[in-house]
Amino acid sequence: MHAVGIDPFGISLMETYIRELESSTIPLPHWAVIIIWLIIFVSAHVLFRKGRGLSHAQDFIVTGGPRGLVKEQSVRLALVQVLFSAAIFAYASFFGGPVFAFFAGGWFVTTAVSISLNLRSILFLRALSEPDAAKGSVTLSDSLAVKDHAFHLFGVAVFCLLVGMLVAHLALFGAAFILSATAFGYLRKAKAKATYEPPTEQSGSS
Where does the pLDDT of residue 14 fall: very low under 50, low under 70, confident under 90, or very high at 90 and above? confident
Nearest partner of 194 among 150, 158, 159, 164, judged by Cα: 150
Q: What is the mean pLDDT of residues 75-100?
A: 91
Distance CA 195, CA 84 (A): 29
| Tens-digit pLDDT profile for residues 28-49 | 999 999 999 999 999 999 998 8
The 3-state DSSP class for residue 148 equals helix
- Whole-number mean pLDDT of the chain? 84
pLDDT class of 206 with cuts at 50, 70, 90: very low
Half-sphere exposure of residue 123, counting CA atoms within 13 Å on the CB side? Answer: 6
Distance CA 142, CA 59 (A): 16
Residue 103 has pLDDT above 60, yes or no: yes
pLDDT band at 194 (very low <50, low <70, confident <90, very high): low
Instruction: Report the pLDDT value the prediction gives residue 205, as an integer from 0 to 100.
Output: 37
Quickly list H helices, the chain: 2-22, 30-57, 67-95, 97-99, 105-128, 142-167, 170-196
Q: What is the pLDDT of residue 146?
A: 86
Q: Domain extents for the chain?
A: 17-140
Residue 198 has pLDDT above 90, yes or no: no
How confident is residue 58, by pLDDT bands cut at 50, 70 and 90? confident
Query: What pLDDT score was predicted for residue 200?
Result: 44
Q: How many residues does the chain have?
A: 206
- Of the candidates 48, 188, 26, 25, the residue with the CA atom closest to the CA atom of residue 111: 48
